[in-house]
Chain A
């Protein structure tokens, strides 16, 4: 392979992309393929397949891949009137490929109704439930592109609640696991519809990449086979091969710079040797995720944008949505060995749509899994009313590890204005920049939905024949793996940060493309939607650049 093209920091490249994650990887590769000079600044390292290992201690307990809270702390509070305390509340992978490298790889499309829930359900007091500026049909071709470019395994038409699709999945579903067989049985008894999980994992070799070896280390880990369809494995190599794309790892962007005309013209970043460098660019695309994107915009306040970049209406950072869900545990008579293979093989979406008859807003997508690695299982896997150490506990963990399966209910999370990302007034990161302050408390309807979904999950586990069932506690979430909705998209500049093309209402040559754009969060599993939006946004950016709109 040719060596990667390098750009000078003084040269104004066509696009500076901040963050090489799920969305950033898509945007960079699409822009480079369209012929634009693109520099991608990623704060984390550029790891390769050979760097990934089955090491639960390092990955799960010592923040090997995620944002290290010792260096990049955040503070947390439930409500704005409280004093925020240092307490880890957000998690994302800090590396080239971002969250697409370590995600569990559930790849759900949103339903057509997700884009118009306000119209269908009506308003919810205390929340700002809104329709999206675009309908499902407009995004459908890009879901299809994402599925084919990245390599998604699934069975078209198997989920009766899915929207229409223009093409089947490029790969057949992964083989069913014991949890999937049990979910199928339970669904049949209860009159529900279980279907093969759509997964960003190769069930067969695809475009030069190897198929999954079923090692079981998907969630939170990087794939040693390159079989997980991360942007790192599926897109970055092609982007670099165009000769128009430079990936610059260990580049922590600390400020986006504005010219006298109010437009952005470059970014300041800190490299591995802690030098501060300036990359000049004709346009800037921020793909730093739902937590870091609003932070960077707020850090980039200037004379022209005193409240922060793209923040004329004060909405940057607001309407944060968390990864809301509840887990119900089941123990079965015979071994399932759920630790082997991809995490999920079957899903049920019968309870997905919100129904006013339930008396609250909310819905659930249920999947069958048991995703605790040995250490995490022993630390947190047993019910809290049982011993947590000693001989009896040891016997329980020994008997149960292979015999467990749970239902994870992936839930709606209402957008509430006071739930937000802001800059902490006191706490700083290891570079001396203000830390993220998270303010988050689930809306009351989210909590009602949580117990309702736990009850449905119990019915499913019961119908599947579980010997013992227990649920996690219903409580407002304090930690999130999905970071969504802090720079909402919309047509009305009074109520949104970016327009339907992800372009800032305030700054013409600034685009925000990642989880921050989401208006609602479906029933979690946002990555398919984030990436479909990224394909669509990149196409628009290329067009705008060709038309001279960004020069």
Chain B
């Protein structure tokens, strides 16, 4: 390769924004995010996996502590795509499916190791300490009414205040 083209490539790369994901390509991330949103959907005005930044969490986990689970994601996603093409031959991606179609798709793969790992990671990303990239603005904790505090004061609940 000529030195000039090589230099041009470096220059071109430097003009690109840094990749947003460490473990996924952009299209992969969009597919995984769509699956996570099906597991924990935005509903009744309460935020779901997308708002919580679950995909950020999963991406970071697969680049660190759970690096050994990357192959499971790779083959798992392939299987889900196959299943999608079987169920919805006209579809182009998971992200482009309608909500009900995505639910049907996940039902079809519910018993696979990939699904159980993805559910696990989705829940982790929804309820982890925000420093891990998920649970953005503590939306997970707020959803269940959990207030993280170093000091709590009595009474904690309704029953301590009730007359007998």
A residues contacting B by CB (< 8 A) are 54-57, 61-62, 175-178, 181-182, 185, 213-216, 224, 332, 334-341, 374-375, 377-379, 388-391, 394-395, 397-398, 401-402
Contact = CB atoms under 8 A, between A and B. Distances in A.
24 contacts: A61-B124, A177-B160, A181-B160, A214-B151, A215-B149, A215-B151, A335-B145, A336-B158, A337-B156, A338-B156, A338-B157, A341-B154, A377-B144, A378-B144, A388-B119, A389-B38, A390-B41, A391-B43, A394-B40, A394-B48, A397-B144, A401-B146, A402-B144, A402-B146
Nearest to A215: B150
A337 B149 contact: no
Nearest to A380: B123
A185 B164 contact: yes
B43 A57 contact: no
Contacts of B20: none
Nearest to A377: B144
A228 to B, nearest CB: 14
Contact of B126 (A177, A182, A378, A402): A378
A62 B46 contact: no
Interface of B: 38-41, 43-44, 46, 48, 65, 103, 106, 119-120, 123-124, 126-129, 132, 140-141, 143-146, 148-160, 162, 164
B120 A389 contact: no
A398 to B, nearest CB: 5
Given A175-B154, A213-B150, A57 B159 contact: no
B104 to A, nearest CB: 11
9 closest A-B pairs by CB: A178-B157, A334-B158, A401-B144, A336-B157, A178-B159, A340-B152, A375-B127, A374-B127, A214-B152
Contact of B46 (A334, A398, A401): A398
B41 A54 contact: no
* Main SS at interface, chain B: loop
Given A398-B143, A402-B144, A56 B158 contact: no
Contacts of A401: 144-146
Contacts of B159: 178, 181-182, 332, 334, 336
Nearest to A332: B159
Given A182-B159, A336-B159, A394-B143, 19 more contacts: A175-B154, A176-B160, A178-B157, A181-B162, A185-B164, A215-B151, A215-B152, A336-B158, A337-B157, A340-B152, A341-B152, A374-B144, A375-B127, A378-B144, A379-B123, A390-B38, A401-B144, A402-B145, A402-B146
A82 to B, nearest CB: 23
* Main SS at interface, chain A: loop
Nearest to A175: B154
A118 to B, nearest CB: 42
A98 to B, nearest CB: 24
B111 to A, nearest CB: 12
A377 B148 CA distance: 15
Contact of A341 (B41, B146, B156): B156
A379 B144 CA distance: 13
Contacts of B132: 57
Contacts of A177: 156-157, 160
A518 B150 CA distance: 37
A216 B152 contact: yes
Contact of B41 (A176, A334, A374, A391): A391
B119 A389 contact: yes
Contacts of B123: 375, 378-379
Given A224-B150, A375-B127, A398-B46, A389 B39 contact: yes
A77 B103 CA distance: 38
B152 A54 contact: no
A395 B128 CA distance: 19
Contacts of B103: 390
A401 B145 CA distance: 7
